Amino acid sequence: MRKAVLIAGPTASGKSALALDLAQKAGGFVINADSMQVYRDLRIITARPTVEEEARVPHRLLIPSPDKMEHDAGQAWRRGPRRALAALGDVGAQAVCVASMIPSMCAVNRRGVPISPGLLYGDERGRTGSSANPGGSGETVAFLQWCAREYPQAGGYWPAPAVANCALAGEGVVDSMTAMAAFPLYTGTEWDAATLAEAGVKPSQMPRVEINGVAIGKVGDAVLGSSTVDAIGEQLVAGADDDGDVLVICGTTLIMWAVIPEWREVPGLWTVPHTAPGKILVGGASNAGGLFLNWASKLLGRGERPADPRAVPVWVPYVRGERTPFHDPTRRASLAELDLTHNGGAARRAAFESAGFVVRHHLELAGVEPRRIVATGGGVRVEEWVQSLADCTGLPVDVVAVPEGGALGAAFQARLAVGLETQMSDGARWARTARRVEPDPAWAAACAGRAGGRCVDPAFVVGAFRLARIAPGELRADATKPEVRVDATQGLVVRSGAGWEIRFGTPDDLEQKLSNAKKLLSDNPTRRLDYVDVRSPDRIVFSPQ
């Protein structure tokens, strides 16, 4: 017989942290039954306690090929929310709100039942080549075009929250933030008939749109609030609201946002408004999250962390391409600096470090002065992940008390719908920290200096692999033995084998830098050189002049 442990106590007394700790040690699960709010989210994909399973009602992620990612929309988006509420039982919920990632899309029949796979963020069927954030990339447009082409008989074309809301209350409705992420399909006030027509779709086939935090129906006696975006929910309640705070969402997708005081565009990254008044977020999303770490963990097993912090190889974590800052779906993963002293535990630690270095790389590109990381998402239950974030960035990591931030943020918006809250920014009142994880001095030092310094950054490893493909004689006739090095000062360097070298600096704009170098060398086929410096793509320096 399974035993239940009841944990009760005053607000902020540590009930959640204790419950999570007990659940981990006993192999159990947590049911939240707060007297003032009961909430349940539609967690489309999220990191799990072992980077495998965290959702109370898990939804199987289907990957038919390396570039496709989908759900069984009927199981995950329609039946999943119903099963979740049924599992809670009669708890007297006053309001319900679902949260989901963006973008997503499926074809539905006239009753709102999915008849196609549920396409998810990053699937090749939404690929446009744009480097914009999901709200401006046109990914939803491409998803819609695919669904309309493959399922022209469909009664409608809906994202995940519309399917869930229909399953719960009988009508397909989405919140305005989810709809805005479908730009240019949605103008801010209505579905754009002309843009829809290009895909062969009518406005009547799209879901109704309501602003976030309003009531859209009933689920039994509970009010159903309009849906929300999971990452918005995370922002609302994480507490990463001050300049220098860095919000890291440890989910299947690794999301990182640095809080800054004013709008600033950074090449390769995304800039978006914060839910905190007067604040801006700069950062992006990476595939070096739970999807990669789950795969690496299954491949390597658990293993023991190496005793020597220096005895760790380097992962390039892009098993299905990368979002920011590269926007390159063709990138793939690799393991570098591997030798016979490394075991499975060392390779596993390297996998978690790669996620930390991706965060560090984003912060360096953003040019911010970070003071701390606020970590949320199911992955914060994986101590290796949290510690690696601290070690690789050199920053303290404040772990939120409720990792399911998307659910907590959805619960807050459900309270808005039922009139228990008045404004979104008050969600910051719910922010709680369970613990602080400091960088381990020995490991942080090893991370900072591993393999010649910055080459441990996955971006530098990727760049080095690109330059390693340069063939003998490709740069110039005397460059018969091109060799790639990563220098702590010069960055990426290609030595020719003839006494001269090309200094590329960072891997940013690498193809343009390489093209500039090749043109200079082509124009000077016999000139004596010590080096060619193309660290700036707009300026070439060579010696001797």
- Flag whether 478 is in a domain: yes
| Three-state SS annotation for 28-39 | CCCCCCCCCCCC
For residue 166, the domain's CATH number is: 3.30.420.40
Pairing assessment for the beta strands 280-286 and 314-316 based on DSSP bridges: unpaired
More confident position, 487 or 150: 150
Same domain, 393 and 530: no
Its pTM stands at 0.75
For residues 213 and 96, membership in a common domain is answered with: yes
Domain identity same for 26 and 77: no
93, 17: one domain = no
DSSP collapsed to 3 states, 305-371: CCCCCCCCCEEECCECEECCCCCECCCCCEEECCCCCCCHHHHHHHHHHHHHHHHHHHHHHHCCCCC
pLDDT digits 0-9 by tens, 121-141: 888 898 888 777 777 788 999
How many structural domains is the chain composed of?
4
Are 269 and 203 within one domain? no
Q: What are phi and psi of 475, to 5 degrees?
A: -80, -45
- Predicted pLDDT of residue 320: 81
The pLDDT assigned to 61 comes to 59
Q: DSSP assignment, residue 226?
A: P
Pair 250, 269 in one domain: yes
Q: Quote the pLDDT of residue 432.
A: 95
Reported as a single tens digit per residue, the pLDDT across 50-105 is 332 333 445 555 666 667 778 899 999 999 999 988 888 887 889 999 999 899 99
Q: How many CB atoms lie within 10 A of CB 407?
A: 26
Please tell me the predicted confidence (pLDDT) of residue 68. Answer: 79
Write out the two tokens for 119. 């396409």
pLDDT at 236: 95
- Secondary structure (H, E, C), 425-462: HHHHHHCCEEEEECCCHHHHHHHHHCCCCHHHCHHHHH
Q: In which band, very low, low, confident or very high, does the pLDDT at 475 lie, cut at 50, 70 and 90?
A: very high
Alpha-carbon torsion angle 218, 220, 222, 228, nearest 10: -50
Q: Is residue 422 part of a domain?
A: no
Q: What is the largest CA-CA distance in the chain?
A: 83
| Judgement on whether residues 1 and 144 belong to the same structural domain of the protein | no
> Which pLDDT value is given to residue 476?
94
pLDDT, tens digit (0-9, with 9 covering 90-100), for 133-186: 777 788 999 999 999 999 999 999 999 999 999 999 999 999 999 999 999 999
The confidence score (pLDDT) of residue 452 equals: 39
CB 295 within 8 A of CB 307: no
460 and 492 in contact (C-beta within 8 Å)? yes
Give the separation between CA 214 and CA 105, rounded to whole angstroms: 23
Cβ-count burial of 26 within 10 angstroms (0-12 exposed, 13-18 middle, 19+ buried)? exposed
> What are residue 70's DSSP bridge partners?
62, 119
Element (H, E) at 117: none
- Label residue 135 left, alpha or beta by phi (over 0 means left) and psi (-120 to 50 means alpha): alpha
Would 423 be classed as within a structural domain? Answer: no
Please provide the average confidence, as pLDDT, over all residues in the chain: 85
In this predicted structure, what is the pLDDT of residue 122? 82
Look at residue 489 in the predicted model and tell me its pLDDT: 67
Q: What is the pLDDT of residues 366-400, one digit of tens each?
A: 999 999 999 999 999 999 999 999 999 999 999 99
Which of 231, 262, 294 finishes a domain? 231
Q: Are residues 217 and 124 in the same domain?
A: yes
Q: How confident is the model at residue 10 (pLDDT cuts 50, 70, 90)?
A: low
What is the dihedral sign for C-alpha 72, 73, 78, 80? positive
Report the pLDDT value the prediction gives residue 29, as an integer from 0 to 100: 46
Same domain, 222 and 194: yes
Q: Is residue 456 part of a domain?
A: no
Same domain, 319 and 386: yes
Written as six digits, the tokens of 32 are 């939240």
- Is 152 contained in some domain? yes
> Long-range CB contacts (< 8 A, 24+ apart) of 23-28?
24/49, 24/381
Instruction: Indicate if 219 and 85 belong to the same structural domain.
Output: yes
Q: E strands within 114-205?
A: 118-120, 156-158, 173-175
214 within some domain: yes
Structural domain harbouring 299: 240-412+434-451
Q: Could you read off the pLDDT of 222-268 as tens digits, one per residue?
A: 999 999 999 999 999 999 999 999 999 999 899 999 999 999 999 88
For residues 199-219, give the mean pLDDT.
Answer: 96
Q: Are residues 404 and 494 in the same domain?
A: no
Task: Confirm if 430 and 415 have CB atoms less than 8 A apart.
Answer: no
Residue type (1 letter), 449: G
- At residue 270, the pLDDT reads 94
Q: In whole angstroms, how far apart are CA 17 and each of 7, 14, 58, 190?
A: 11, 5, 22, 43
431 — pLDDT class (breaks 50, 70, 90): very high
pLDDT at 21 over 60: no
Kindly state the DSSP code that residue 60 receives in the 8-state scheme: P
Residue 426, token pair as written in the block:
């008050």
Given 184, 213, 231, the domain boundary residue is: 231
Q: Is residue 441 part of a domain?
A: yes
Query: Would you say residue 426 lies in a domain?
Result: no
Identity of the highest mean pLDDT range in 35-44, 85-94, 493-502: 493-502
Token couple for 35: 């007297």
CA–CA separation, 512 and 264 (whole Å): 24
Give the model's pLDDT for residue 533.
Answer: 92
Closest by Cα among 136, 108, 134, 102 to 120: 102
Higher pLDDT, 335 or 441: 441
